[in-house]
Structure formats: C-alpha cells, structure tokens
Amino acid sequence: MSISIDLSGKVAIVTGAASGIGRASARLFAEAGATVMIADRADAVHETLEMIEAAGGKGFATQMDAGDEAAVAALIEDTCSRFGGIDIIYANAGITGGKPGGLFDSDASEWAEVLRINLIGPYLAIKYGAPKIKARGGGSIVCTASVAGLRSGAGPASYSASKAGVINLVKTAAYHLDGTNVRVNCICPGLIETGMTKPVYDYARDAGKLDKIGQLNPMKRGGEPEEIAKAALFLASDQASYVNGQALPVDGGLSASHPIAPRGNRGI
C-alpha cells in the first residue's frame, strides 16, 4: 500500500500565500505536483511564486482580498480559465484582529473585519469553489481554523469566535455537499511561528524567554509553518479520501487537555 502523496495533474488554490502557513503549503503542494494559484493581499505573494518556480513548480500569483465576494468569485473563474478547473482549495487567509485585552476592548467594526476575512472568506471559497471541484469529479477544500476556535485562551475574542465559526462551517458544508465527492475539513494550528505571531516570538527573544514558547503543550515547543503545510497536504490529497467535516488540531497536543500546572515527566 503506497502512502506517498502525489498531486500531479491537480489544480490547487492557496489563499494567504504571501508568507507563513500559506507560503509553506503552496510550496509543498507544488512540490507534490500540483499547479498552484496563489493569492494574497500582500506583494510578497509574488516572492512565493518565484520560490515555487525556482524549485521547478508551476503556478500563478495574484493579489486579492479573500474576504471580498467579487474578488473570490473572480479568483475561482480566473483559475478555471487558466488551468481548466479546480481540484483543491486551501482557504488559509486570515488576520488576528482585535486586542489582546479581550471582549470589551474592541468594537463592532473590528469584529466585522475579522469575521469578514476569517469566516466569510472560507465560506466564499466553498460557495464559489465547490461547484467547480464537483465538476472535476470531486476533491478537497481545506480551511485554516485554530485551537482558539476550540476553547478560550488562545487568542483575542473576535479571532477565537471567527475560528470557531470556521470549525462549524466545515461540518455544515460537508453535509450540504453530500453526494458530491467534495470533502471539506479544517486545520486547527496551535502556536506557529508566522508573521501573525511575530510579536509573540519577538517579545520572547528580546526577553530571553524563547524557551518558554509552547511550554503549555506536551511537545514543549512552538510549531513551524511546514508542520501545518504537511497536514494541509494530507487533507488535500486522496490519501484523506474518507476524512470529511473534521477539525484537525495540529498543536503539539495543547488541545488534548484543559489547562493544568506543569508536572514534569511523571517519572519517565
């Protein structure tokens, strides 16, 4: 039984691909043989394409807003026009938003923007992308949620609520797409070193406390974008052909427990 992942002949869209998890995923999808349409608001999305092409991969880069309905619809149509269809969408674009202080330190406009990008964005990817994937005989949509969507304590209130919405969205979408062979799942990353978490990592480095990063999970470390990309690759591939409507935590074990005081290795 082969367990290698081959995306040869597949067309994949990756949003939020200018850096971090999106960039790592786009590069990995291309390495596995997919033609990738990569999208982001930031100019650096073109640098991601240069990395892909330098490694022998194929794709196209475009700047767009993943939470804008017209822009998402155009992205889907452009991808189909350029490459003949879509097999995979990784709706990864997101923002932290809000303020660390919590529920009462932000306003409705901030919440609206976070929900627009983090939750409405994946919804639009499903709405416009699923029919195209169905037309190809089926495929996969992967969304980025977060451990913050599983329970409190991992991000600002608006961010956490938006990611909880993504988790429910993929479960709901899986049933709305029953019989289509279009699977919808999400990944719940823990603390990963990306542009979004740069302030946390910079503070830890400046304070000489980098060893404290990830101290609350059993792995005792933060994660790397490539570790999330590998999970995305699996969910995007036919190797995950019976995985549907699920939220996969990739967090070093953080979400396996309610918060407890560290107790060492328990004698091991």
Higher pLDDT, 194 or 56: 56
Residues 151, 37: Cα–Cα separation, whole Å? 33
Q: Mean pLDDT, to the nearest integer, of 251-259?
A: 83
Bridge partner list, 39: 15, 62
pLDDT tens-digit profile of 221-251? 888 999 999 999 999 999 999 999 999 999 8
- Least confidently predicted of 105-109, 188-192, 208-212: 208-212
Q: Who contacts 86 (Cβ-Cβ below 8 Å, separation ≥6)?
A: 11, 12, 13, 76, 79, 80, 129, 132, 133, 136, 139
- Per residue, the 3-state secondary structure of 6-73, as one string, reads CCCCCEEEEECCCCHHHHHHHHHHHHCCCEEEEEECCCCHHHHHHHHHHCCCEEEEEECCCCCHHHHH
Q: pTM for this structure?
A: 0.91
**What does the block give as tokens for 40?**
């982001």
Q: What is the pLDDT of residue 97?
A: 80
- The amino acid that residue 56 corresponds to is G
Distance set, CA 199 to CA 106, 195, 219, 251 (Å): 19, 8, 22, 19
Residue 267, pLDDT above cutoff 60: no
Q: What is the pLDDT of residue 216?
A: 75
* CATH code, 11-194+224-252: 3.40.50.720
With cut-offs at 50, 70 and 90, classify the pLDDT of residue 204: low
Bridge partner list, 89: 13, 141
**What does the block give as tokens for 106?**
């932000």
Q: Which residues are catalytic?
A: 159
What are the structural domain ranges in the chain?
11-194+224-252
pLDDT tens-digit profile of 121-142? 999 999 999 999 999 999 999 9
CB 117 within 8 A of CB 67: yes
Residue 88, pLDDT above cutoff 90: yes
